[in-house]
């Protein structure tokens, strides 16, 4: 039976710390945590002492949003009622949902330099073959 969902910070035995929505499920002889949209939150300090947060997916090479964790792999877990953390998580989930539906981006010059392989090869060969004293800063 799945218990009510709640937000939590989970510290895994591997050292990773994730924030996610959690539900506990009993399976035969063990407890499994069903975690939804786990994220890593890193504190980012600015030049003038301003502090912000960077939100990243826990696993970067998958589009899955639900994972099963064996309770034996969890060092500690703390239920969170921190509204700021919950809002950051919900915002991340909302943005992730809209990104999955819109992967058709057209290339334009605002994205960077656009060239053919031959053009890029010629430019790089010229740079490589030019003596460093001839290059202007």
Average pLDDT across the chain, whole number: 82
In a domain, 65, yes or no: yes
Domain membership of residue 68 (yes or no) is yes
The residues near 96 (Cβ < 8 Å, ≥ 6 apart) are: 37, 57, 65
Condensed to tens digits (0 to 9), the pLDDT of residues 58-79 reads 998 988 899 999 988 999 999 9
Q: How does residue 1 score in pLDDT terms, banded at 50, 70 and 90?
A: very low
Instruction: Classify residue 86: in a domain, yes or no.
Output: yes
How many Å apart are CA 67 and CA 5, to the nearest integer?
14
58 against 103, higher pLDDT: 58
Q: Which of the residue ranges 37-51, 75-89, 123-137 has the most confident prediction, judged by mean pLDDT?
A: 75-89
Domain-located, residue 121: no
Tell me the per-residue pLDDT of 35-54, one tens digit each, with 9 for 90 and over: 999 999 888 888 787 788 88
- Residue 68 maps to which CATH number? 2.30.30.100
Q: Is residue 73 part of a domain?
A: yes
Which range of residues forms the domain containing residue 43?
Answer: 6-102
* Domain membership flag for residue 109: no
Q: What is the mean pLDDT of residues 94-106?
A: 67
């Amino acid at each position: 039976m799945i218990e009510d969902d709640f937000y939590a910070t989970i510290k895994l035995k591997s050292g990773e710390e994730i924030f996610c929505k959690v539900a506990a499920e009993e399976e035969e002889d063990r407890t499994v945590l069903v975690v939804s949209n786990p994220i890593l939150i890193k504190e980012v300090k600015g030049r003038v002492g301003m502090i912000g947060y960077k939100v990243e997916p826990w696993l970067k090479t998958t589009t899955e949003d639900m994972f099963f964790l064996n309770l034996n792999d969890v060092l500690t877990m703390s239920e969170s009622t921190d509204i700021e953390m919950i809002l950051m998580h919900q915002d991340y989930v909302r943005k992730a949902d809209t990104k999955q539906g819109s992967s058709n981006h057209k290339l334009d010059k605002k994205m960077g330099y656009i060239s053919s392989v031959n053009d890029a090869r010629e430019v790089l060969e010229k740079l490589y073959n030019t003596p460093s004293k001839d290059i202007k800063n």
